[in-house]
Amino acid sequence: MTLNTVPPWEDVQNYIDGEWQSPTGDGGRDIVNPATGETLSHVGFSSESDIDTAVEAGQDAFETWSTTAVEERIQPLFELKQLLEAHQDELAEVLVREHGKTRGEASGELRRGIENVEVACGIPSMMQAGHLPNAAPEIDETAVRKPLGVFTAITPFNFPGMIPLWFLPYAVATGNAFILKPSEQDPVVAQRIFELIDQAGFPDGVVQLVHGSVDTVNGLLDHDGIAGASFVGSTPVAKAIYERAAKNGKRVQAQGGAKNHVIVTETANLDFAAQKTVSSALACGGERCLANDNILVEASVYDEFVELVLEEAGSKVVGDGLDDGTDIGALISPEHEERVREFIASGIDEGAELLLDGRDVDVPGYEGGNFLAPTVFGDVDPDMRIAREEIFGPVMGLLPVEGIDEAIDVMNRSDFGNAASLFTGRGSDARKFRHQADVGNVAVNAGTAAPMAFFHFGGRKDSFFGDLHAQGEDMIHFYTDKTIYIERWPDES
Ligand code: NAD
């Protein structure tokens, strides 16, 4: 089996109860290659009746799947891992065409997604909840985790190959049914992953795909047959989804936007810190919730560090993600490119020093693409918009600070708390940072605080609404409810 990587592609389809179906609701949108402007495909939006059909199929499947032996439940996941690996290059190509990032970035995100499939294959051990003989006189107590029904996940455009896999493998491994609603901006890679899911041996209705936009999401959140929802996307939507799902009595976890900080102290290896900082801020064109784009530098090394950052950022090649030489691909849409340009204009208006201007980038042969080259501001003030708000583009700002205390104070005043990195050679700075950072993912001498799949991933403050995060053990808790069995069998002899 080969996946279709060469556009134009057929219209995107729902995968409901083991069948491919066209969405039957109103509305839809074209899927456009961000590097060329070429229309690749079209996605229609799902109707209420599509959602009803999927939820009912999920409920039917749940009846059997939730009581299927756990060893049997993980066999399709082992198969899916093999299929994802065998088709990783094709999936990466599809992802690059519809998203714009580079081939290496696309392949890397798929690898991080596959990691979650691998972790979920360990569910026979991870789902055990505990047993204590003689918990009370003649009484044994056992905790068990039970699946809850049909779950949904609503995912963003920026990691369309990875983020669905933060949820899907754990949902089904624990015995639930699962419905994915991917971003309508780049849904083709999800469709291709479901072409593999179709081959992996899941019973019909266990794993389903519905396409759509706001109405589809609301239809899922309001549906009585949905037990819980996972969301990843922008902060205003995350907050709205958290509130709506909770009001409807559902489990919910909602991961929002970010504004991440890097702190560089005078004892850091500055060359290493500059290289890692630039790659953290600019990877995937800055369209990452882990982009560390607010860089707080100890004043004594500020000028030296700025030079290193400019050299590193200035060397990046902008172009089509399918070209091997490209470091920075296209932004997702012309509207998003315009939004990033407005941020750059606001930085200039508010008095930041524009050290590297990426606005005039020229990518010959790709005049229809949404390109911006790395843009670097110096002398940024923490109150400027570019320092407070999520830009989601290849823009970074440098702020001089007196030392680690001021840096932590500036960082902790942010509305967001997704990730932060410290570069230092001093253990006492590292310890202070670890203890005081009001942030969910904290890295020392590493550019991007991205946990492996066997650890949970999620932020704080406006970056996260809920309590259990994506990935790893948190997902087992999210997808199951615990029951206690108390047994007493007095000796009758
Ligand atoms: P988005 O919020 O626009 O869309 C995310 C999903 O929500 C999509 O599936 C979309 O169809 C749906 N949606 C959009 N508006 C909606 C509404 N009003 N009501 C209901 N559903 C709606 O986000 P995006 O632009 O696709 O993704 C980028 C954002 O995601 C950034 O803010 C980024 O930081 C964030 N993100 C966060 C994490 C994290 O782990 N915290 C990871 C990746 C991306």
- pLDDT for residue 492: 85
> In angstroms, what is the span from residue 155 Cα to ligand 1's centroid?
6
Query: Is residue 1 included in any domain, yes or no?
Result: no
> In angstroms, what is the span from residue 254 Cα to ligand 1's centroid?
10
Claim to verify: residue 294 and residue 205 sit in the same structural domain: no
Claim to verify: residue 244 and residue 279 sit in the same structural domain: no
> In angstroms, what is the span from residue 158 Cα to ligand 1's centroid?
9
Residue nearest to atom 23 of ligand 1 (CA): 233
- pLDDT for residue 485: 96
Claim to verify: residue 336 and residue 364 sit in the same structural domain: yes
Claim to verify: residue 265 and residue 408 sit in the same structural domain: yes
Claim to verify: residue 266 and residue 327 sit in the same structural domain: yes
Identify the CATH number of the domain in which residue 117 sits. Answer: 3.40.605.10
> In angstroms, what is the span from residue 483 Cα to ligand 1's centroid?
34
Structural domain harbouring 424: 261-444
Write out the two tokens for 266. Answer: 């005078």
Query: Is residue 266 included in any domain, yes or no?
Result: yes
The β-bridge partners of 229 are 152, 252
Claim to verify: residue 287 and residue 210 sit in the same structural domain: no
Do residues 406 and 298 touch, judged by C-beta distance below 8 A? no
Give the residue ranges of the chain where pLDDT is below 50.
none
Sign of the torsion formed by the C-alpha atoms of 268, 272, 276 and 279: positive
Q: Degrees (nearest 5) of the Cα angle 469, 472, 473?
A: 80
> Is the CB of 213 within 6 Å of ligand 1?
yes
- pLDDT for residue 493: 77
pTM of the entire structure? 0.98
Q: Using alpha carbons, list the distances in angstroms from residue 59 to 67, 74, 149, 289, 481.
A: 13, 19, 7, 33, 17
Query: Is residue 269 included in any domain, yes or no?
Result: yes
> Is the CB of 154 within 6 Å of ligand 1?
yes
Query: Is residue 3 included in any domain, yes or no?
Result: no
Query: Is residue 190 included in any domain, yes or no?
Result: yes
Chain position carrying tokens 């003030």: 381
Query: Is residue 53 included in any domain, yes or no?
Result: yes
> Is the CB of 253 within 6 Å of ligand 1?
no
- pLDDT for residue 491: 84
Atom of ligand 1 minimally distant from the CA of 183: 9
> Is the CB of 157 within 6 Å of ligand 1?
yes
Tell me phi and psi for residue 293, to 5 degrees.
-110, 0
Claim to verify: residue 386 and residue 331 sit in the same structural domain: yes
Chain CA centroid to CA 349, Å: 32
Claim to verify: residue 252 and residue 329 sit in the same structural domain: no
Atom of ligand 1 minimally distant from the CA of 464: 41
Residue nearest to atom 34 of ligand 1 (CA): 257
Residue nearest to atom 42 of ligand 1 (CA): 289
Claim to verify: residue 276 and residue 215 sit in the same structural domain: no
> Is the CB of 296 within 6 Å of ligand 1?
no
Chain CA centroid to CA 178, Å: 17
Whether 289 is a known active-site residue: answer yes
> In angstroms, what is the span from residue 269 Cα to ligand 1's centroid?
36
Is the previous residue joined to 8 through a cis bond, with omega within 30 degrees of 0?
Answer: yes
Residue nearest to atom 30 of ligand 1 (CA): 233
Atom of ligand 1 minimally distant from the CA of 212: 11
Q: Which of 3, 207, 284, 289 is catalytic?
A: 289
Identify the CATH number of the domain in which residue 437 sits. Answer: 3.40.309.10
Claim to verify: residue 211 and residue 293 sit in the same structural domain: no
Query: Is residue 457 included in any domain, yes or no?
Result: no
Tell me phi and psi for residue 80, to 5 degrees.
-60, -40
Q: Structurally, how many domains does the chain consist of?
A: 2
- pLDDT for residue 119: 98
Claim to verify: residue 194 and residue 301 sit in the same structural domain: no
- pLDDT for residue 31: 98
Q: Using alpha carbons, list the distances in angstroms from residue 265 to 296, 400, 430.
A: 9, 10, 10
